[in-house]
Amino acid sequence: MSIKIVVLDGYTLNPGDLEWDEISALGELKVYDRTDPGDIMERASGAEALFTNKVIITRETIANLPALKFIGVLATGYNVVDTEAAREAGIIVTNIPAYSTQSVAQLAFAHILNFARQVDLHARQVREGAWTGHRDFCFWSTPQTELTGKVLGIIGFGRIGQAIAKIGDAMGMEVIFQNHRKKENIQAYARQVSLEELLHYSDYISINCPLTADNQGFINKETLSLMKPDAFLINTGRGPLINEQDLADALNSGKIAGAGLDVLSIEPAREGNPLLTAKNCYITPHIAWATKEARVRLMGIAASNLKSFMEGNPVNVVS
Answer left, alpha or beta for residue 80, where phi above 0 means left and psi between -120 and 50 means alpha.
Answer: alpha
CB 86 within 8 A of CB 93: yes
Other Cβ atoms within 10 Å of 17 Cβ, number: 8
**pLDDT interval class at 62 (50, 70, 90):** very high
Give the separation between CA 228 and CA 93, rounded to whole angstroms. Answer: 43
Phi, psi of 231 (to 5 degrees): -95, 160
**pLDDT interval class at 59 (50, 70, 90):** very high
Multiple choice CATH, 101-283, 3.40.50.620, 3.40.50.720, 3.40.50.150, 3.40.50.970:
3.40.50.720
**pLDDT interval class at 185 (50, 70, 90):** confident
The full set of domain ranges for the chain reads: 3-99+292-310, 101-283
pLDDT at 61 over 70: yes
Intrachain domains 3-99+292-310 and 101-283 with the same fold: yes
**3-99+292-310 architecture in CATH?**
3-Layer(aba) Sandwich (3.40)
pLDDT at 247 over 70: yes
**Which residues are part of the catalytic machinery?**
238, 267, 286
What's the pLDDT score for residue 1? 60
pLDDT at 244 over 90: yes
What's the pLDDT score for residue 133? 86
Q: What is the mean pLDDT of the chain?
A: 97
Instruction: Work out the average pLDDT over 138-153.
Output: 97
Q: pLDDT tens digits for 263-286?
A: 999 999 999 999 999 999 999 999
